[in-house]
Amino acid sequence: MKKVFFALIVLAVAGCARQHNSSLEEKVESTLSRMTLEEKVAMTHAQSKFSSAGVPRLGIPELWHTDGPHGIRPEVLWDDWDQAGWTNDSCTAFPALINLAATWNREMSALYGDCIGQEARYRKKDILLGPGVNICRTPLGGRTFEYMGEDPYLASALVVPYVKGVQQNGVAACVKHFAVNNQEMRRTATNSVVDDRTMYEIYLPAFKAAVQEGGAWAIMGSYNLWNGEFNCHNHRLLNDILKGEWGFDGVVISDWGGCREDDAAITGGLDIEMGTWTNGLRGAASNGYDEYHLANPYLERLRDGRATEEVLNDKVRRILRTVYRTSMSETPHYGSFTSPEHFQAARDIAADGIVLLKNDGALPLNPSKGSKVLLIGENAYKMMVVGGGSSNLKTKYEVIPLDALREAFDGKADVVWERGYVGDTTTVYNRVVTGQVLKDSRSPEKLLQDAVSAAKEADYVIYIGGLNKSFYQDNEGTDRFDITLPYCQNELIDALAEVTPNLIVVNISGSPVAMPWAGKVNAIVQAWYGGSESGHALADVLTGKVNPSGKLPFTMPLATADGPLKSPRQYPGVQEEGKEWWQEYYTEGIFVGYRWYDTNGIAVQYPFGHGLSYTSFEISDARVKKSGKGFKVSATLINTGERAGAEVVQLYIRDSEASVERPSKELKGFEKVYLEPGESRRLEFSIDPDALSFFDADAHRWVAEPGEFHALLGTSSADIRADIPFML
């Protein structure tokens, strides 16, 4: 009876879904049939910096867009990036997406999406411009901090709950930047030359998952070209793959100013053209929205027969579908803004993604009463939410590490701060102001001397440095020059290591950095741009209130030169005679991140997936068994230490012999498990033939070749605890 009852429920739910979808399409068709040609065209382009037109005559509202993906952008002027000066638009700043990726936690991703979706809906936003899922091809990428790491499986697994969480609030998640937008240098003028196998195995999976598993309602095109066509109107990318192969029924939005040609914009799969200033990429003295590619030029082509209304109607259907899914949804959504629950979620997510890279017993920190704890480094004090490009936020508050650690050790230890170096003293971005004063008149030599002197007198020394969101660091529009820490921080850390026997280093960054001093310090913590509650999250981990469980979402190499990109042709691209755009060749193919380092046996500072804990875990009794057309991989995880904590069990697959070149291992499953001391749990992973396949570009299909495979279970790409062969 229970099975029958459950089946009836499933049929009822499916029937409701079909009825709702039918109702949605009926509304779309009814509205479309009443619209004039001019009203249709008006919906396909911007009318202000962050809005596109509705149809007032028919009661169809405008679509309001907002940056994400880490928080709801402050209200801006109609035609300008600068904030409008509202006093009630200070949001909850959530951790950067690279921090979310480092949680390796689907539940945290769902929580993140739900909370930011609530904030967007409260602010009456219909389309959230995020999340970003571009792959970390190079550690120099300026927007690595906004994305979800170097692995397509990890990004795919985390983008789905984020998208679902956002959209359950009646807000469209606009997944970006589609596709192969893996650098900021010359991002609007670079042609990414990428073969199909590399695209389908590395750069498309997260977008496909967002569409087919997450049900994403919007996609944003990227600035660059793919194989000679701009991606905001790339026919193959948008029409053939996205809307054709994947069945995407949502709306395609250009990046701001990413649309380049009238005819291509019409036929290339773009639905809404958004812009920078009021005339595409060029500035304009007055309102220029009517001159957009999908505005008057489009209308002229429709009137003289050069464009068809059939193509226009498809665009408008997708736009109307978005309206009826968001602001005109049958289910009312109200959202909530800067609630205590949202700030707690930001704190929990930030802490869950902090990675303990090294620990020689220095952590967790438990200073004796009356002791002196010295913090050194600009990032112990500097606010990080403001700046970085389109992820710039005006938050209700931001807790810095210095204040958080003073709070944590109140009445027990004296927490003091020495700057150590002067990095970025900027405190304003798009007229959003932090209120801090970061100027310091001391010379670099004096700053170092003062820090070293203070370290000699301290009982505990915690260095908190790294990168920031200034130009040529973690920042939209520029890439980094190298992975070396800026502002002579390596020299400062070396000097501190000589005078204190117990040095803890906290690196705050959104992308990999070299750590030549790793062998000289006692503990290394990789923290991120953690949003409003970043300081509290870091203090929670340093003090042991939270047992660290984050894992690196990218490889931490020893040097930039160790990576797969060996020539300017690969990165940042070259100018070639007869070519209008810079050409960038992805000749490394599928060998990105750990696929490159592990396959070629290249040493790294810390491997992909690495992260320690204050307790210990053991993986045992690993097995593989046939299950239908696929396999089940199982193992037991036990907490063998004395503290409760979480471990991420990672499943990699290796193909023993193939007709094509394949990596030594590829991530195909993971599970984050929280266990009390002595507690164990049996884990099971499903492996279908797709997980064993490579993409055959000639046949345009996925191929799983018969033969021997290996299931590799471990806690990083380099720490494999079980290797079980099996036959397909």
List active site positions.
Answer: 255
Dist. CA 212–CA 206, nearest whole Å? 10
Question: Quick check: helix, strand or coil at residue 482?
Answer: coil
- Residue pair 602/561 in contact by the 8 Å Cβ criterion: no
Nearest alpha carbon to residue 180 among 189, 167, 191, 169: 191
Residue of 727, 680, 678, 681 lying closest to 705 (CA atoms):
727
* 723 Cβ contact partners less than 8 Å away, ≥ 6 residues apart: 710, 711, 712
d(CA 471, CA 487): 14
Distance in angstroms (rounded) separating the CA atoms of residues 194 and 366: 52
Going across the sheet that includes 229-230, the strands are 229-230, 225-226, 190-193, 582-585
Q: What are the phi and psi torsion angles at 77 (to 5°)?
A: -65, 160
How far apart are alpha carbons 142 and 149 in whole angstroms? Answer: 13
All residues at 6 or more sequence positions from 588 whose CB lies less than 8 Å from its CB, including other chains: 564, 565, 570, 596
What CA–CA distances, in Å, run from 425 to 178, 228, 534? Answer: 34, 41, 19
**Residue 382 and residue 427 in contact, taking contact as beta carbons nearer than 8 Å:** no
Output DSSP code: residue 243.
I
| Interatomic CA distance for residues 481 and 585, integer angstroms | 19
Q: Which H, E and C letters describe 339-383, residue by residue? A: CHHHHHHHHHHHHHHCEEEEECCCCCCCCCCCEEEEEECHHHCCC
Neighbours of 439 (CB within 10 A): 8
Strand partners, 645: 675
